[in-house]
Structure 1
Amino acid sequence: MKKFLLTGLMLAVPLSVFFNQAEPASAAPLTPHYSFVNQWQERLYQEMQMFQNMFSHTSSQLPMPQQMQQQLQDQLNQILSQMNQYQNQQQQQWIDQNIARRSGLRKLPRQSGNGRAQQNVNSGLKLAAGDNGVSQKTLQSAAQILQNISLPTLQTELGAKPSSGTEVALFSSQRSYGQALLQAGVPQNQISAIITNTGGITIGNTIWIPLYNLKNQSDLANVLTHELTHIIFNQQGIGDSLPTWINEGTAWTIGLNGEAQVSQSAVQQETARENQAVSRVAQAGKLLPLNAGEDDILSAGYNVEWVDYLAVQQLIKTYGADEYKAFLADIPQNGVEASFQQHFGQSVEEFEQSFSL
């Protein structure tokens, strides 16, 4: 009985103790601490599921009133439901392009020249602070990642770099990011979802990145490289014509390649975690097709873009990285369909229909 009494005390603790979303005062959250927290949350979720299973099998034998058993079962169900919702939110942090389109964003106001810190990077790329919580030191650190990791990786993977006029703005808090989104024209009732569920937004030649949603420097390398992939596609005039799974799957591939140069172990852990999550969805028969619509993608409850990544990886493993690079290079001149057929010997639709995990 003592174990169950202790558990009852634990269940009375608000979930905010476990999932503290307190707003940071500056860009300081880029620390390895968050990697440990995420692993701890996953472990707690798994153990709570094990406890619920055990309780379901033994509740009829417990020396406690039926009403108390039901109350404890209801509390367990509520906690697991909220944990699952929290995990789903974390898995959807990368659905950037779809969230931007749904919110009606067509342009992101430039943050450079507003008196805050800024940093010039080669290739005509400029880093800017979106609020006063982003210091010059933070911008310098991001600039080093861009120069040493993101730009070389993009050159290798795409044979291109962002053109002049590209701006990356960093935000340190939900408050400042939300205010900027409101000024950009995002409806008030959509602000909360965006500031919580995105790792970055790219529109045209501009990227906005909320630092508070990133765990560490390897995460920043991933997001910067990922979002600059979208920039290059936009500047090539193919960003809107690419199927979502090719656009996001390619950005994930290149972003992870950038992250691996900071922490290979972080990529390995992320890959294992995402594969496991997607596998559970597939086993439940709830995996969306590659050509799923925007409404389905945004309400999927899992990281749809990871499936996009797996689809791109299948093409790369089957035909080779050089062939995939050539496919992308030919799109501006030949179009997606013709280039796909030429390099992979099948139509986009045929691949979408045949793809499976």
Structure 2
Amino acid sequence: MNQSQDRGFHLSISVVAIFVTMVSVLSIINQCGPAMSKVEEQVDGVWRSLASHATHLSGIARSVVHDGSRVPATLAAAMPHKVVSASGNKALANIHVVAVGSDTTAKQVQHVEQLIQRVGVLSIVSHTVGMSLQKPVTIEIADDESDYQAALQKLAMTKQSAANLAEDTGGFTQNSTIVIPMNQNQSEGDLANTLTHEMTHVVFNQNIGTLPSWLNEGIAVFDGMQGQKQVESAVTFAGDERQLAETILDVAQKHQLQPLFADEQVILDGKTSYDYELQDWLAVSDLVSQHGLTAIQDDLQMMQQHVNESTAFIRAFGQPESTFNASLTALLNKASTTKNQGVQLQCNVTQDFTGELEILPQGTTNWQGLDVSDGQYSIDVQADGKLSGQFKTLPVVKDNNGADARTLYISLLPKQPETYQGKKVINSGFAFDVHDGLYAFENAWVSLKDGQTIYTSTPSLFGVSITGVREAATGNALLPLFAAQEKVSN
């Protein structure tokens, strides 16, 4: 009945998006000679200052894009005249996956190729934006940070900029070249997200060139989440989605949200320290929720035809960008004040598990026991921590660690001792992040007798699985945005 000692997946504020525009600027500055060296030093200084305040960066949707239309032709990555898949698969005829660096293996290249097909990366991007690849794309796979840095330097990036970028980002796109560091994309979900995210940038580079930064990044994150959803359980994906959104709600609570259309200048000025890409993603999700994908595609097609971005937005969505920004800000402010109203947890118990479940609702110090066996269970956790449902309750047990206002725990108490990876299990269970009316599956944990605690993103342990999480606070303003993401992928 112990709480997990380190819940492992709390997201701190990311500064990756702040580096998006900086890298493009630095690469261009590098071509301009000594007269611009002072400017480069100043921008690098801003990056170092921001990086010093970031203790952890999100593992989802981390990327930097170079828009080919903004970079001198001499910086464009060389593309072979004709590109074919390393595997010879016709489904990848326009995608060339290659290994860079001495440590990257053919097995890693094959894994990326297979994941691209399994996820349907190109189909996701084309379905969202209504555009497709116009010429081949190269995906360079780097095994580690040093290989990633070397690949970035070959794209005419300064050594310092490449080093900064290689340390904290999960992907990079320039023109029709994508660079993916495998060490930053170790889970299937992360890799699927990054591949789809970066492919979106390539399609934009080939079809449009320049478009507003917030729309470029917002659609890329939206697509990346679609890719991630293909390889994660529904509970894991919904938990990831909510936790990412909550980082923006934290900013909204502090009244520090920046205007969508002003983000590039704010980034350059170093006046923000949160991940703009996530705000952009919520903005695109809101547009899809209100107007559907057709309006998104209409907006993009008008810009492809060189219609002014402001005019295109008004024609596609019936309002100026400033009006939409105001409504989005109001939506996020409202969502950030939603009270926790409880949750319904769907749980499946197989014959592999016999014992008890102990639930510790957020903000309480009493573990409430349930006697369970093979079957399906619906557990209603009310806002005050009381439980209801068709199950036999057991005596309450006091927790000695103090109340955790942000986390709901489910601890497993099997009647027979469990082992994990051949080692005796001391305690195990599931953790859910709770705030702003949202309940997000965070992780499963297994604490071993040797003192080690293992965390996984799979909501299943020893025959017990969490199969559904439904908030009682159905009025949370973010739920329609999540529903838009779900609807598009169905």
For normalisation by structure 2, the TM-score amounts to 0.51
Equivalent in the alignment of 1:260:
229
The one-character-per-residue Cα deviations of 1:152-204 (angstroms, maximum 9, x if unpaired) are: 21232223332332111110111112122233322222232100222111111
Question: 1:302 and 2:274 equivalent?
Answer: yes
- Partner-residue secondary structure (3-state), 1:160: coil
Q: Which of 178, 184, 198 is 1:207 aligned to?
A: 178
Q: 2: CA distance between counterparts of 1:347 and 1:183?
A: 41
Equivalent in the alignment of 2:111:
141
Q: 1: CA distance between counterparts of 2:290 and 2:93?
A: 33
The runs of 5 or more residues in structure 2 that have no matched partner are 13-50, 333-490
Equivalent in the alignment of 1:11:
none
- Partner-residue secondary structure (3-state), 2:305: helix
Displacement after TM superposition at 1:144 (Å): 1.9
CA distance 1:223–1:330, shift in 2 (3 Å): same
Q: 2: CA distance between counterparts of 1:97 and 1:38?
A: 34
Displacement after TM superposition at 1:327 (Å): 2.7
The runs of 5 or more residues in structure 1 that have no matched partner are 1-35, 46-81
Preserved CA contact (<8 Å) 1:126 1:168: yes
Displacement after TM superposition at 1:269 (Å): 2.3
RMSD: 3.5
Deviation larger for 170-179 or 305-314: 170-179
Q: Within 5 A, what are the aligned runs for 1:185-196?
A: 185-196=156-167
Equivalent in the alignment of 2:64:
96
Preserved CA contact (<8 Å) 1:103 1:186: no
Question: 1:170 and 2:138 equivalent?
Answer: no
Equivalent in the alignment of 2:31:
none
Larger Rg: 2
Equivalent in the alignment of 1:274:
244
- Partner-residue secondary structure (3-state), 2:154: helix
- Number of corresponding residues: 280
CA distance 1:110–1:216, shift in 2 (3 Å): farther
Question: 1:314 and 2:286 equivalent?
Answer: yes
Preserved CA contact (<8 Å) 2:61 2:193: no
CA distance 1:138–1:187, shift in 2 (3 Å): same
Q: Which of 100, 125, 129 is 2:95 aligned to?
A: 125
The one-character-per-residue Cα deviations of 1:18-54 (angstroms, maximum 9, x if unpaired) are: xxxxxxxxxxxxxxxxxx99952639x9xxxxxxxxx
Preserved CA contact (<8 Å) 1:92 1:198: no
Equivalent in the alignment of 1:341:
314
Displacement after TM superposition at 1:106 (Å): 3.5
CA distance 1:326–1:282, shift in 2 (3 Å): same
Aligned AA (1:307): Q
CA distance 1:256–1:316, shift in 2 (3 Å): same
Question: 1:247 and 2:216 equivalent?
Answer: yes
The one-character-per-residue Cα deviations of 1:70-127 (angstroms, maximum 9, x if unpaired) are: xxxxxxxxxxxx997213x4479725127999999933456999xxx94455341111
Q: 2: CA distance between counterparts of 1:95 and 1:176?
A: 17
Deviation larger for 133-142 or 254-263: 133-142
The one-character-per-residue Cα deviations of 1:225-251 (angstroms, maximum 9, x if unpaired) are: 111111111111x232x1111100011
- Point out the structure with the larger helix share: 1
CA distance 1:168–1:95, shift in 2 (3 Å): closer
Displacement after TM superposition at 1:134 (Å): 2.2
Equivalent in the alignment of 2:416:
none
For normalisation by structure 1, the TM-score amounts to 0.68
Equivalent in the alignment of 2:295:
323
- Partner-residue secondary structure (3-state), 2:157: coil
Q: 1: CA distance between counterparts of 2:251 and 2:129?
A: 32
Aligned AA (1:271): E
